[in-house]
A and B are shown apart, each in its own frame.
Chain A
Amino acid sequence: MGTVRNALLASAVTLALAPALAQAKTDLIVGMNLEPPTLDPTTTAAAAVDEVTYANIFEGLTRINENGEILPGLAESWDVSDDGLTITFNLRQGIEFADGSPFNADDVVFSIGRIIGPDSVSGKPQLFSSIADVQKIDDNTVEITLSESDGLVLFNLGQGDGVIVNEATIDEIGTNPIGTGPYMVDERVEGDHITLVRNPNYRDPDAVHFDTVEFRFITDSAAMTAAMLAGDVDVFPNIGAPEALAAFENDDRFEVIVGTTEGETVMAANWRREPFNDPLVRQAIMHAIDRQGLVDAAMFGYGTPIGTHFAPHNPAYVDLTGLYPYDPDRARELLAEAGYPDGFSTTFVLPPPAAYARRGGEVIQAYLAEVGIDAELVPVEWAQWLEGPFRGYDYDLTIVSHTEPLDIGIYALGPDDYYFGYDNASFNAVIDELRGEADPSARAADYEEAQQIIAEDLASIFLFQLPQLGVRNANVQGVWANRPIQANDITGAYWQE
């Protein structure tokens, strides 16, 4: 491991020998916060798995780019029937998996087949719940039938959960994944790193920029900063620790990456429980929190306040943050009106993410204290969070970032199927309408109406959109700034010459 002094020395040398050295650099070291527990993106919901494998090792029928647009992937084109229920995919030809076996329609039928239906092995089966069947037409054509029109299915097939896997090697996919992407796994050291090397059978060898790509796992933000400064890591696409960016903001050797994610950070206030079933109390809580102040204190200013459950970079977004603005006096009045003139005591369950949940929790606690609400912080590990608040609906307040794209529909899942406990028939009707709607402008109108309803009801306490924060060596180009899906697609990255 080099040191910063060595790195400085090296960059001085680079200046002198720039072209030669730049060309010599054929490896990329990518830092990540979390380590993938397995290397099969189709059977797990863990984001880190997609972040290593998506596009780098495995490809889907469609492919999502940095801006969330749907591009051709292993399917070079597709036709959607007029009723929107049948999609015919025309597959690329002459493609091989990393083990040399050919890719064809059978692989698609196998891959899609295992993630749909009641026996789905998928980590997120609801992404593909609209797919009723998948049929091979010929070696290069596949037909997917939907049970209902689904505007998101092409997008979802382009996520890590929908990638095409290899049937012959399926038993060892978790440790030695074989895909059609430009790289394959060379070495995996648990708790430390995973190294990818070129897939020798990749269709376009000239488009592969690196001989090796190493994903290195560093959880601690101080250690992350040190590793970047020392040049031990070239890119940290998703640094998760906004405080770490301070060290790079004024340093020419690095570029700070600030982009968007699909993560709406919300504080759920349990609708099933007193006093959170009282709209006045919910409004009081919302009035008590200064969202910009929260972003400044917890996120070091990175992040956009939101007033509803929708990503601000989406064209259909409506800014509803003015509905219940920061006004502690109003909050106290509302609490008194609701019968809590002296406030009340409650608990606030915090999952592990350090920045938005743990720091954010502390800041929110302080805001609530100002209006007389005494919230005891209960930090938990993910296991307990999933079992307690998320599955058992056992919580008063909790905070989490919902990182699925376009997931406003979770407010229509009802109190029996989702932890919010929110139930509003007119909202459910809008979501139902959306499901069958194919016309983009009508969809946008529905989305706007849906945003309005949950914002007025304060279905959750809406806080801010999680930013995508990262840092890269200034010479590494082509790294995604935004995070429309969980991925570190480094197939377009390269060293600037």
Chain B
Amino acid sequence: MLSFLARRFLTLVGTAFAASLVVFLVLEVVPGDPALLQLGIEASPEAVERLRAEMGLNRSAVVRYVDWISGLLTLDFGRSFTYSTPVGELIAQRIAVTLPLALMALVVSTLIAIPLGMFAAANRNRAGDYGVMTFSQIGVAVPNFWFGILLILLFAVHWQVFDTGFPGWDEGLFAGLKALVLPAAALALGEAAILARITRSAVLETMREDYVRTARAKGLSRWQVMTRHVLRNALIPISTIVGLQFALLLAGSIIIEEVFQLPGLGKLLIQAIGQRDFQVIKNAVVLFAVLVVFVNFLVDALYAAIDPRPKQA
């Protein structure tokens, strides 16, 4: 198992490295000169050239790549072209929105999906089951950004009990969390729909196991069996999926932050793309990729710990 994990870890590092190379190469070929953009319409060519030199854009690509990677290893992400502040600070500021958002969505999704899935399994092929499965199909089909718009329409425009935007954590924990409620709900819907379905089938599978039948035969109530035996065992596949979903939620925040105008990592990235702030783009993209790969690695590790059968890397 250790060698399996070691191999997975190497893959993680390799993937992160490859991702950085891909991003770097993409940014090399895209049109749009960041120096020109900074100086605007009326800038003289000399001024643009001077700024390009200041930004380090006139050095060879290899030098810049090596520079960037060696910086990354010491957690020095360079300076943003747009703000001329350290990218590390910008990312730290933004991740303080994106991470809580994704976590909140994860909690919401899990809290909705697991009871729903269990309920559906317990009522297999009855009305409750169909209801849950219908919810699941609809939840998967509704685009999260549209659901977000609907939430804004209802709660911000019509009832006016929530706002869009983010007040900042210094306005207090409650204000911050409140601002994340609607976005987290929008983000959670699709994942809850999938998780409910997976919970249902995991629970159904476990219920077929002998020990469950034995427990039932021993006279334990259906509820007791459910909570004591079935859920505990079904949690293994469920938690794997929850882990994987966290990565998806992080990615989904890119569009949800746009819908709700939240100053998170996704919004930073979209904005940086518009401003050709290569410094921010490359670091943010690699960070996203590393987070995704790392979460997958954790899930693998967890799975390997629970399920000792040999695996293919």
Contacts of A124 in B (CB 8 A): 40, 42
Contacts of A189 in B (CB 8 A): 93, 168
Q: Knowing A1-B171, A174-B84, A192-B263 touch, does A387 contact B36 (C-beta < 8 A)?
A: yes
Selected interface stretch from B69-77, B156-164, B221-229: B156-164
A197 CB to nearest B CB, Å: 16
User: Does B267 count as interface, using CB distance less than 8 angstroms?
Assistant: yes
A223 near B160 (CB under 8 angstroms)? no
User: Does A313 count as interface, using CB distance less than 8 angstroms?
Assistant: no
Contacts of B15 in A (CB 8 A): none
Contacts of A2 in B (CB 8 A): 163
11 contacts between A and B (CB under 8 A): A37-B275, A38-B83, A45-B39, A125-B44, A189-B93, A190-B93, A191-B90, A226-B165, A382-B274, A383-B31, A391-B36
Q: What is the bound-complex CA distance between A3 and B162, given in angstroms?
A: 6
- A: interface residue count bin: 35 or more
Q: A45-B43, A232-B165, A384-B32 are in contact. List 15 more A-B contacts (CB 8 A).
A: A1-B165, A37-B83, A37-B84, A38-B83, A45-B39, A46-B40, A174-B84, A191-B90, A191-B268, A223-B164, A226-B163, A230-B163, A383-B37, A386-B33, A390-B41
B36 near A223 (CB under 8 angstroms)? no
A387 near B160 (CB under 8 angstroms)? no
Docked complex: B89-127 residues within 8 A CB-CB of A: 90, 93-94
B33 near A37 (CB under 8 angstroms)? no
Chain A 1-15 per-residue mask, 1 if CB under 8 angstroms from chain B, else 0? 111110000000000
User: Does A426 count as interface, using CB distance less than 8 angstroms?
Assistant: no
Docked complex: A177-207 residues within 8 A CB-CB of B: 189-193
Contacts of B240 in A (CB 8 A): none
User: Does A381 count as interface, using CB distance less than 8 angstroms?
Assistant: yes
Closest-by-CB residue of B relative to A37 is: B82
A387 near B32 (CB under 8 angstroms)? yes
Main DSSP-derived SS at the A contact region: loop
B268 CB to nearest A CB, Å: 6
Q: Knowing A4-B160, A37-B82, A191-B263 touch, does A381 contact B39 (C-beta < 8 A)?
A: no
Contacts of B171 in A (CB 8 A): 1
The 4 closest A-B pairs by CB, nearest first: A45-B40, A383-B32, A4-B160, A223-B261
A312 CB to nearest B CB, Å: 23
User: Does A67 count as interface, using CB distance less than 8 angstroms?
Assistant: no
B39 near A123 (CB under 8 angstroms)? yes
Q: Knowing A1-B171, A218-B261, A226-B164 touch, does A191 contact B274 (C-beta < 8 A)?
A: no
Closest-by-CB residue of A relative to B171 is: A1
Q: What is the bound-complex CA distance between A387 and B271, given in angstroms?
A: 18
Docked complex: A7-51 residues within 8 A CB-CB of B: 37-38, 44-46
Q: Knowing A226-B165, A382-B37 touch, does A126 contact B42 (C-beta < 8 A)?
A: yes
Contacts of B276 in A (CB 8 A): 381, 383
User: Does B190 count as interface, using CB distance less than 8 angstroms?
Assistant: no
Contact of A381 among B32, B156, B160, B165 (CB under 8 A): B32
Q: Which of A37, A226, A352, A383 has the most CB of B within 10 A?
A: A383
User: Does B34 count as interface, using CB distance less than 8 angstroms?
Assistant: yes
User: Does A229 count as interface, using CB distance less than 8 angstroms?
Assistant: yes
B179 near A3 (CB under 8 angstroms)? no
Chain B 139-162 per-residue mask, 1 if CB under 8 angstroms from chain A, else 0? 000000000000010001100111
Main DSSP-derived SS at the B contact region: loop
A219 near B261 (CB under 8 angstroms)? yes
A253 CB to nearest B CB, Å: 13
Contact of A229 among B32, B42, B160, B166 (CB under 8 A): B160
User: Does A80 count as interface, using CB distance less than 8 angstroms?
Assistant: no
Closest-by-CB residue of B relative to A223 is: B261
A387 near B33 (CB under 8 angstroms)? yes
Total B residues in contact with A, Cβ cutoff 8 Å = 48
Q: What is the bound-complex CA distance between A218 and B273, given in angstroms?
A: 18
Residue ranges of A at the interface with B (Cβ–Cβ < 8 Å): 1-5, 37-38, 44-46, 120-121, 123-126, 174-175, 189-193, 218-220, 222-223, 226-227, 229-230, 232, 352, 381-384, 386-388, 390-391
Q: What is the bound-complex CA distance between A259 and B120, given in angstroms?
A: 61
Contact of A227 among B40, B80, B165 (CB under 8 A): B165
A386 near B261 (CB under 8 angstroms)? no
Q: Knowing A4-B160, A174-B84, A222-B152 touch, does A383 contact B34 (C-beta < 8 A)?
A: yes
Contacts of A223 in B (CB 8 A): 164-165, 260-261
A190 near B90 (CB under 8 angstroms)? yes
A248 CB to nearest B CB, Å: 14
User: Does B6 count as interface, using CB distance less than 8 angstroms?
Assistant: no
A3 near B267 (CB under 8 angstroms)? no
User: Does B214 count as interface, using CB distance less than 8 angstroms?
Assistant: no
Contacts of A46 in B (CB 8 A): 38, 40
A226 CB to nearest B CB, Å: 5
Contact of A3 among B40, B94, B161 (CB under 8 A): B161
Q: What is the bound-complex CA distance between A409 and B164, given in angstroms?
A: 44
Contacts of B13 in A (CB 8 A): none
B282 CB to nearest A CB, Å: 16
A45 near B93 (CB under 8 angstroms)? no
Contact of A123 among B42, B84, B161 (CB under 8 A): B42
Closest-by-CB residue of B relative to A233 is: B165
B163 near A232 (CB under 8 angstroms)? yes
Q: What is the bound-complex CA distance between A397 and B280, given in angstroms?
A: 32
Closest-by-CB residue of A relative to B34 is: A383
Contacts of A226 in B (CB 8 A): 152, 156-157, 163-165
Q: What is the bound-complex CA distance between A5 and B93, given in angstroms?
A: 30
Q: What is the bound-complex CA distance between A46 and B37, given in angstroms?
A: 9
Q: Which of B36, B171, B175 has the most CB of A within 10 A?
A: B36
Closest-by-CB residue of A relative to B267 is: A191
User: Does B252 count as interface, using CB distance less than 8 angstroms?
Assistant: no
A251 CB to nearest B CB, Å: 13
Contacts of B43 in A (CB 8 A): 45, 123
Docked complex: B151-200 residues within 8 A CB-CB of A: 152, 156-157, 160-168, 171, 175, 178-179
Contacts of B179 in A (CB 8 A): 1
A38 near B84 (CB under 8 angstroms)? yes
B36 near A3 (CB under 8 angstroms)? no
A387 near B83 (CB under 8 angstroms)? no
Closest-by-CB residue of A relative to B276 is: A383
User: Does B11 count as interface, using CB distance less than 8 angstroms?
Assistant: no
Contacts of B38 in A (CB 8 A): 37, 44, 46
Docked complex: B259-310 residues within 8 A CB-CB of A: 260-261, 263, 267-268, 271, 273-276
Closest-by-CB residue of B relative to A217 is: B263
User: Does B85 count as interface, using CB distance less than 8 angstroms?
Assistant: yes
Contacts of B39 in A (CB 8 A): 44-45, 123
Contacts of A383 in B (CB 8 A): 31-34, 36-37, 274-276
Q: Knowing A3-B160, A175-B84, A222-B164 touch, does A352 contact B274 (C-beta < 8 A)?
A: yes
B40 near A44 (CB under 8 angstroms)? yes
Closest-by-CB residue of A relative to B152 is: A222
Closest-by-CB residue of B relative to A125 is: B44
Contacts of B31 in A (CB 8 A): 383-384, 387-388
